[in-house]
Amino acid sequence: TPPNFHHNFCLSYKFISTTFVSFKTKSTYSNMSGTDVASGAPAEWKKYDSYVLNVDPEQDDRATEIKLCSFSRPHMRAFHFSWLGFFIAFFIWFAIAPLLSEIKITLGLTKKELWTSSIVGVGGTIFMRFLLGPFCDKVGPRVLFTTVLCFASIPTACTGLVSNATNLAVLRLFIGFAGGTFVMCQYWTSRMFTKQVVGTANALVGGWGNLGGGVTQLVMGSALFPLFKEIFKNEPNPAEFAWRWVSIVPAVVAFTIGVCMYFFSDDSPKGNYSELKKNGSMADVSAASSFRSGALNLNTWFLFVQYACCFGVELTMNNAAALYFKDQFSLTTEEAAAIASIFGWMNLFARGLGGFFSDKANAKAGMRGRLWTQTIFLFVEGALVLVFANTASLEGAIVVMVFFSLFVQAAEGSSY
């Protein structure tokens, strides 16, 4: 036997064995879903292998850009459902506002009783926002968005059953739950976009969603209300029949959008929370723990006050603007609703501008830049509300309200 025969034989056997085992291992791994072939370690599960938008893997596959004309899943689909869902939530939340003057006449209510119902409606929203935030961390924004929209559409459809001040207050309490969708709206886009563009993304979806508060004034007060009066023109009191039936329209739309949102969108770039947890890619989160960590952060309460100074003002205007213009300048319900809608229409771009300027300031001066941006917006807003309250002419009040609304929405956008 040649002296190196055994050595060469052993090397050849080892090579063949290693090659066979390696081939078999790779074949096995290639057929195992969610396994990293190179390392043999389990790979993180995610629903999509590729994205239409550019993403940052270091930020959990969040998108680094916003393509407004795209409706691709998951990023831009969530973006558009986020603002659309919040838009219709705002629409049903304030659908009753331009009709309050007619409800006041039918039910013989006082101004104090109307204001009580408006306050209760906002109170319901505050409660829901505290509740929904921690549950977003637990179950994701999509399921909660659908649940709240579909639930709030029911009392909206029941508006026509109101018979006294107590009924009105209770009804608006439950309709006000729709305002809680703001939490899911902002959470969703924060989950989808990187910190470099999230201010702009959040401001856009929040602003376009809040636009529903202006559109509802115009559509409900100046379009659907007169249309329903015409439909019921042969009834003893067409105006009463109109306000009792007209809210069914936005209720049906809200329910439909809620259902579509559930089936045609995703919680996060990598999939729905339920799927991520099932595949071991996401740990289960305690809602109580999430709430506690947020509530104990002092910055939460500073931002709470800052946001109250801008969004709280917008809620007041959405509730009161139509009544104010009708009483102060002796306008019809349709005219007052059309003018009041201008305040909400500014959301189309003003809130986005606030987020844009905040992002720019952040790029140059960090968080200090964001704080200065919001401080300036809040200061100008405060000055203009005093001017608006003391403007005696209709034309002047409209002009001041436009600029007043611009800075209110921009301050909101800078909050994100």
How far apart, in whole angstroms, are the C-alpha atoms of residue 165 and residue 104?
9
pLDDT at 223: 93
How far apart, in whole angstroms, are the C-alpha atoms of residue 101 and residue 383?
29
**Do residues 191 and 63 lie in contact, with contact meaning Cβ atoms separated by under 8 Å?**
no
pLDDT at 43: 64
**Do residues 136 and 183 lie in contact, with contact meaning Cβ atoms separated by under 8 Å?**
yes
Residue with tokens 């720019």: 360
Closest CA to 116 of 152, 161, 166, 174: 166
**pLDDT tens by residue, the chain, 416 residues:** 455 544 444 444 444 444 433 333 333 333 333 444 344 445 678 899 899 999 999 999 999 999 999 999 999 999 999 999 999 999 999 999 999 999 999 999 999 999 999 999 988 888 898 889 888 988 999 999 999 999 999 999 999 999 999 999 999 999 999 999 999 999 999 999 998 888 889 988 988 998 888 899 889 999 999 999 999 999 999 999 999 999 999 999 999 999 999 999 999 999 999 999 988 888 887 777 878 888 888 888 888 899 899 988 998 898 889 889 998 999 988 899 899 999 988 888 888 889 889 989 988 999 899 999 999 999 999 999 999 999 999 999 999 999 999 999 999 989 87
pLDDT at 18: 41
Closest CA to 97 of 311, 238, 246: 246
pLDDT at 386: 95
Closest CA to 333 of 19, 39, 106: 106
DSSP 8-class letter at 222? I
DSSP 8-class letter at 276? H
Backbone angles phi, psi at 14, to 5 degrees: -65, -40
Closest CA to 238 of 226, 223, 224: 226
Look up residue 155 and give its two tokens.
């009392």
How far apart, in whole angstroms, are the C-alpha atoms of residue 43 and residue 36?
5
Residue with tokens 């969108």: 265
pLDDT at 292: 84
pLDDT at 41: 45
**Do residues 76 and 265 lie in contact, with contact meaning Cβ atoms separated by under 8 Å?**
no
State whether residue 182 is helix, strand or coil: helix
- pTM listed for this prediction: 0.77
